[in-house]
Structure 1
Amino acid sequence: MKPFLEQISGIHPSRSFQYRRLELPAFPHFWHYHPEIELTFIEKGKGIRYVGDNISLFEEGDLVLLGENLPHTWVTQGKQETEIQSAYVFQFPITHLQQFPELSHLVTFLHQAKNGFFFPHPSREIIELISHFGSLNPTSQLLSLIDLIARLEKSPKTGISNSSNRSLHFIEKEQKKIDRVKNYLHDNFQQQINLNDMSNEMHMSPTYFCRWFKRAIGHTFITYLNKLRIEQACRWLTSTDWDVSEIAYQTGFQNVTHFNRVFKKEKSKSPLAYRAQVIKKI
């Protein structure tokens, strides 16, 4: 699905950033990008996070920093603990920080976030800065935002997307088609989906569809579909007592052997080893 160029219209002329606390029945599939830096913290909700060419699960406590023009969306999926999903979102242009030589190291850090950073273990201080942000006056908010970025720079983090060559012009041009195919796969990955059916659905030849999909999404069609299925399998491995064969079939795989092979390729361990590792941490 092609990301939509979002115009961040909520930044008031007298403010240098935008801050929102979102509360929704579900996070919708809104594949988009914008020139502003974005920091998103999931307070309530779980589902699948798409950033560039990466597909990952998210849940409460998910904290992600996104660089300029990096396509992304968070999509609610599965049974939720609460009726309302909520998130804190900060957006700001990097140019504002570039005006201060004292913040040059933070500007460098934000440029390094061009493919996104995930913070697996944010400190208590970082969570408090985020959750208390809305109660501050504008001046204190600005200082708090700088403090927040500085703390994130020093926090353990992992890169998210591997895509370094995104054609935003192509993405903009193919928006409707990408939206259509991504939404379809997100909603139907548990069903049997093959290349011929998908190319027919998009009114393309199989060969052209494969080339188009790789350029638009960053993965081959089969790789993308497998990644989507494996992420859902990870959730069921850790939230249910279903055996591996049941999870394999529920995620759209035809047989357990193929599921195990794809899972190990994506996660570098078997499904049972993944389940044991996560349960041990809990």
Structure 2
Amino acid sequence: MKPQLQKIPLPVDQSFSIKTDISKKFYSQWHYHPEMELVWIIEGNGTALIGDSIINIGNDILLMVGSDLPHLFRSDDDGSKYESAITETITVHFTTEILSSFLALPENKNILSLIEKSKLGLKINGETKRIVTNYLKHLSYMQNTQRLISLLQILNTLAESDEHHPISGNTLKVFTNKQDENRLNRIYHYTLNNFHREITLKDISDIIHLTPHAFCRYFKSRTKKKYSQFLLEVRVSHACKLLKETDFSIGVISFESGFMNLSNFNRHFKQITGKTPLQYKKHRY
């Protein structure tokens, strides 16, 4: 699929938006927008695809997504299995244009560096996360110049911190060919719904009506990786979640994550995470 351009509504008397969302599930379309995005996931569990990378998300996660970086947040079970499951997020969207003259000042080179780093997406941790989320709690109630001052304080806090790390390995080109509309959405959702079982190249290529060979070329041209590698990363990401959140045996986790062979599971898990499943499980806390 082509990532969909999402238009962020903005009140006429405001230069950037902040909103609180409480719902059954995350907005799960592969999309992008020119605005930078700072999102605090207060409550909710699932998977995020940001650029070319997959991460598990849960309660109290703070992320920054750069301008035009494609991304998708998907709830566990897509919000359909548990009646009581909810997601709660606070999201800020802003363009750097509103600060263009300000950012051109030499004193703000650290903020410019932060904006550049955000092109790969950032996961924010530690004391920096605590400070920024405290600003976000109050930002919705601020008005006029104080809103803008608080946004600058957030950016300055992030710019001066080293408590964040990049998420994506590469920036992804945004495609505008109308024939690509919805293709990657269909690929990603099919994969996230079916990774626990065998997925053949014919299975996945049929989803977007391409031959297996054409599908392989298409997927790599859009994501800069082979589909087989993407599928492995989805499976290992799910295994990481189970290792952290359950006491299942390694064999059960291997099977639940779509690996039919325990030795293959151990090998691919270590290739991707740098640890064996047992080492990862021992250091989960």
TM-score, length of structure 2 as denominator length: 0.91
Pair 1:74 & 2:76 matched: no
Counterpart residue number, 1:85: 87
Corresponding position: 1:112 with 2:117: yes
Structure 2 CA distance for partners of 1:219 and 1:171, relative to 1, 3 Å: farther
In the aligned structure 2, how far is the partner of 1:135 from the partner of 1:104?
Answer: 29
Matched, 1:158 2:195: no
Deviations 1:239-272 (A, max 9, x none): 1111111011111111110011110011000011
In structure 2, distance between residues paired with 1:80 and 1:128? 30
Kept in 2: contact 1:3–1:71 (CA 8 A): yes
1:52-201 equivalence runs, <5 A = 52-77=51-76, 83-100=85-102, 101=105, 103-121=108-126, 122-155=128-161, 156-164=163-171, 166-169=172-175, 173-201=179-207
Residue 271 of structure 1 is matched in structure 2 by: 277
User: Superposition RMSD on alpha carbons, in Å?
Assistant: 1.9
Whether 2:228 is the aligned partner of 1:229: answer: no
How many Å apart are 1:59 and its aligned residue? 0.9
CA deviations on 1:190-248 (whole Å, 9 max, x unpaired) are 12111122223332221111010112233211111111111111111111111111011
Match of 1:4 in 2: 4
Which secondary structure state, in structure 1, belongs to the residue aligned with residue 182 of structure 2? helix
Give the Cα separation in 2 of the matches to 1:125 and 1:200. Answer: 47
Give the CA deviation at 1:95: 1.1
The 1:216–1:67 alpha-carbon spacing in structure 2 relative to 1, beyond 3 Å, is: same
Aligned residue type for 1:43: I
Structure 1 residue 68 displacement after superposition: 1.1
Distance (Å, rounded) in 2 between the aligned partners of 1:27 and 1:107: 30
Corresponding position of 1:21 = 20
Give aligned-pair identity as a percent.
Answer: 29
Look up the SS of the partner of 2:64 in the other structure: strand
Matched residues in 1 for 2:14 and 2:75: separation?
A: 31
Inter-partner Cα distance in structure 2 for 1:196 and 1:173: 20
Can you give the 5+ residue segments of structure 2 that lack an aligned partner in the other structure? none
Gapped regions of structure 1 (runs ≥ 5) = none
Q: CA deviation at 1:74?
A: 1.2
- Which amino acid in structure 2 is aligned with residue 3 of structure 1? P
CA distance in structure 2 between the partners assigned to 1:173 and 1:36 by the alignment: 25
Q: What letter corresponds to residue 5 of structure 1 in structure 2? A: L
Residue identity matched to 2:13: S
1:206 is the counterpart of 2:212:
yes
Deviation, structure 1 residue 182? 1.1
Deviates more, 1:116-125 or 1:23-32: 116-125
* TM score, norm. by length of structure 1: 0.92
Contact 2:186 2:207 (C-alpha < 8 Å) held by counterparts: no
CA distance in 2, matches of 1:28, 1:253: 29
CA distance, structure 1, for counterparts of residue 167 and residue 177 of structure 2: 19
**Poorly superposed stretches of 4+, deviation over 3 Å:** 78-82, 102-105, 170-173
Deviation, 1:81, is: 11
